[in-house]
Amino acid sequence: MVVLTRVVAQGTFDILHPGHLHYLREAASFGSELHVIVARRENITHKDPPIVPDRQRQAMVEALDPVDEARLGHTEDIFVPIERIDPDVIVLGHDQHHDEAAIADALAIRGIDCTVERASALESTDDERLLSTGQIIDRILEQRC
């Protein structure tokens, strides 16, 4: 019998860059099946809203090799897709604003038995490497405006 280990990663994934790929590859290494929840524009309140529309961001993430399935987040409750996926592990991005303990508590209250991990940062010694959407936007503004 083959036992699948379902992993969930989540994020905005606006303007894909090497940091996103590093995060998803590392998240995939925690199990055998990677599900990605792409945040809906309307739910993003901790930073500027994404430039790329929701369904396009979902399609781009789903096309990446480490990803088995990408879906949009729920409009009202971030835990609804997690309940549907029933993961064994949730991997947070190294710089995501979420608190691991608070998420673990919310999962326990909902009866979701999984661990919460934090991905490592992608280190870069190359000054030209763009590791965030903000850096990409800044570079575009510098060079094109």
Q: Residue 72 is encoded by which pair of tokens?
A: 């949009």
Question: Does the annotation place 31 within a ligand binding site?
Answer: no
Residues forming a β-bridge with 90: 8, 116
Q: Is 49 annotated as a binding residue?
A: no
Phi first, then psi: what are they for 43, rounded to 5°?
-95, -5
Of 92, 128, 45, 10, which is closest to residue 101 (Cα–Cα)? 92
Q: Is 113 annotated as a binding residue?
A: no
Does the annotation place 12 within a ligand binding site? yes
Report whether 17 belongs to an annotated binding site.
yes
Instruction: Give the annotated binding-site residues for ATP.
Output: 12-13, 17-20, 95
Instruction: Give the annotated binding-site residues.
Output: 12-13, 17-20, 95
